[in-house]
């Protein structure tokens, strides 16, 4: 059965480019992004891993740890990282799981037979500090992921987790937010001192609380 939002992210122990890691222990009390790559030495993946490395400061300031998985062995990963560093003008600064037995890929349903019987699709899982899955995205192998969108979603998820707001269509950091229905009208002034606007009883807007 496919993993669903709210499910506990499966734990695993695996060899990585940064040593053996047990996922839940490695994650600790931080948010996590786990994302898969069809294979080593593939062009789109090379650009994605390079971009992830370049965005380390952005992930760090959101308290997010990143880990990638590919179904090739560790020695292949080590050589591929050299290529990524060279071609993308960066240094890979996060672990890359060697999943040659496809244990992690199968745990997270990253292999879709309609796409390939052995290579992973481009899956993304955002996982909260409670180890529960907050977001899933699946791309075809030919389409590189938009990491600005992944960061935007993390910002939105953290606003909901910490400030009781949701984000409207096309929201960008700094934009007005939606007060979640669980917040009672009488509690709004104390919880949202920047003010709010009632468009409909179910649609109440407020400036972004953490800006």
Q: Which residues pair with 22 in a beta bridge?
A: 13
Active site residue 45: yes
- Which of 34, 45, 124, 157 is catalytic? The answer is 45
55 CA to centre of own chain:
13
How far is the C-alpha of 207 from the C-alpha of 211, rounded, in Å? 8
Structure tokens, 76: 């292949």
Residues in the chain: 211
Read off φ and ψ for residue 203, nearest 5 degrees: -125, 95
With helix as H, strand as E and coil as C, how does 109-143 read?
A: CCCCCCCCCCCCCEEEEEECCCCEEEEEEEECCCC
Helix (H) or strand (E) holding 97: strand 96-98
Q: Just list the catalytic residues.
A: 45
């Amino acid at each position: 059965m496919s993993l669903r939002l709210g499910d506990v992210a499966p734990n695993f122990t695996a060899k990585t480019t940064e040593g053996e890691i047990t996922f839940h222990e490695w994650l600790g009390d931080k948010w996590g992004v786990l994302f898969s790559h069809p294979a080593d030495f593939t062009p789109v993946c090379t650009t994605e891993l390079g971009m992830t490395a370049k965005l380390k400061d952005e992930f760090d300031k959101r308290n997010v740890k990143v880990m990638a998985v590919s179904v090739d062995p560790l020695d292949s990963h080590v050589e591929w990282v050299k290529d990524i560093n060279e071609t993308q003008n960066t240094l890979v600064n996060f672990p890359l799981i060697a999943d040659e037995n496809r244990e992690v890929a199968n745990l997270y349903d990253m292999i879709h037979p309609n796409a390939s019987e052995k290579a992973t699709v481009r899956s993304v899982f955002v996982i909260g500090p409670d180890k529960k899955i907050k977001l899933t995205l699946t791309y075809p192998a030919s389409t590189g992921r938009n990491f600005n969108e992944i960061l935007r979603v993390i910002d939105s998820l953290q606003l909901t987790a910490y400030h009781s707001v949701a984000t409207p269509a096309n929201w960008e950091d700094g934009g007005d937010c939606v007060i979640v229905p669980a917040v009672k009208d009488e509690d709004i002034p104390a919880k949202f001192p920047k003010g709010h606007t009632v468009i409909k009883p179910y649609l109440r807007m407020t400036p972004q609380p953490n800006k």
